[in-house]
Amino acid sequence: MAIAVIISRIVSFFATERNSETGTDISEQKAGLGSWLLLIRITIICLGLFVAFAAAGIPMDRITIILGALGVGIGFGLQPLANNLISGLIVSFEKPVNVGDIIEIDGQSGTMKSIGFRSSILSTWDGAEVIIPNGDLLNAHLINWTMGNPRRRIEVIVGVSYGTDLQLAKQLVSDLLSKDERIYKYPAPTVLVIGFNNSSIDLKVLFWVRHIREMWALKSDIITVIDVAFKENGIVIPFPQRDLHIRSGLPDFTKGPENEDSKQKI
């Protein structure tokens, strides 16, 4: 059993996302190994357990009784643990997520670092590592951004002042999007007029990026070039404004109904 545990720990080293010595990112190279390594570790532990029973001379019928008793105990006392262990097996076979995938679950988003027996580790964009029980991977609403295709649609809302030539504004934005090589040509970028706001007419800019990792940098660049192009062409991006009227003095409400005209003026 000790040898099986040691071998299992050695195998688990290959499920990590980064090399501690060089600091290089190896998640893309080992994206499909995490769940298989989990199955290998379970197999090693099980083989070590059965070999230990055989070496101790325990008959197989006794093992069956022990396993039955353990099953009853797990069913009643360790239900959450059993749920997470079984969920780990389901994750390994169905593969809704692999090591290196970019996922979002319960408001947390990041890169899947490892998949273990009971829980998995999610490395967030802020540098934190979130421990997620395997049961939550199956029961919660899991969004896997890189399972089928790493591309992502980006949405930018920009407002222009009333009186702006909307066709000119849409054409300027379309030209800027067509010049950026990081943006997919098909589906083609779209610029829509979505409605009248309190102080602006809002435009919605939709386009696809080749990889989700480029999303934030590309969105920042597009907002910057749109602002520069609008300034060069005299298009104003307004900000909310309010007119405040101040009256000096207040009407006297203490005189009763005869002061009705003052109330109507207010």
pLDDT digits (tens, 9 = 90+) for 93-133: 878 888 888 888 888 888 888 888 788 888 888 888 888 88
Mean pLDDT in residue range 211-220: 87
Put simply, whether the predicted model's pTM sits higher than 0.85 gets the answer: no
Mean pLDDT in residue range 223-246: 85
Q: Quickly tell me which residue has 């396993």 as its tokens.
A: 67
Name 116's Cβ contacts closer than 8 Å, sequence gap at least 6. Answer: 12, 15, 38, 88, 134
Question: What is the C-alpha to C-alpha distance for residues 57 and 209, in angstroms, rounded to an integer?
Answer: 62
Element (H, E) at 177: helix 166-179
pLDDT beyond 80 at 25 = no
Place 225 in a pLDDT band, splitting at 50, 70 and 90: very high
Write the DSSP assignment of 47-84 as a string of letters: HHHHHHHHHHT--HHHHHHHHHHHHHHHHHH-HHHHHH
Per DSSP, 19 falls in state -
pLDDT beyond 70 at 16 = no
Q: Rounded to 5 degrees, what are φ and ψ at 157?
A: -105, 125
Place 75 in a pLDDT band, splitting at 50, 70 and 90: low
Percentage of the residues of the chain whose pLDDT score is greater than 70: 79
Q: For the purposes of burial, counting CB atoms within 10 Å of the CB of 266, is it exposed (0-12), middle (13-18) or buried (19 or more)? A: exposed
By mean pLDDT, which of 113-122, 143-152, 244-253 is the weakest?
A: 244-253
Judged by phi (left if over 0) then psi (alpha if -120 to 50, else beta), residue 12 lies in alpha
Place 263 in a pLDDT band, splitting at 50, 70 and 90: very low
CA-wise closest residue to 92 among 49, 142, 134, 136 = 134
Place 29 in a pLDDT band, splitting at 50, 70 and 90: very low
Residue 155: strand pairing partners: 206
pLDDT beyond 90 at 11 = no
pLDDT beyond 60 at 253 = no
Judged by phi (left if over 0) then psi (alpha if -120 to 50, else beta), residue 67 lies in alpha
pLDDT beyond 90 at 10 = no
Predicted confidence at residue 265, as pLDDT, reads: 47
Predicted confidence at residue 266, as pLDDT, reads: 44
Domain ranges (residues) in the chain: 2-144, 152-232
Angle, helices 166-179 vs 215-232, to 10°: value is 140
Predicted confidence at residue 226, as pLDDT, reads: 92
Taking only the tens place, the pLDDT of each residue in 148-202 is: 778 888 899 999 988 888 999 999 999 999 888 888 888 888 999 998 888 888 9
Place 7 in a pLDDT band, splitting at 50, 70 and 90: confident
The mean of the pLDDT values for the chain is: 78
Cβ count near 88 (within 10 Å): 24
What's the full length of the chain, in residues? 266
* CATH architecture, domain defined by 152-232: 2-Layer Sandwich (3.30)
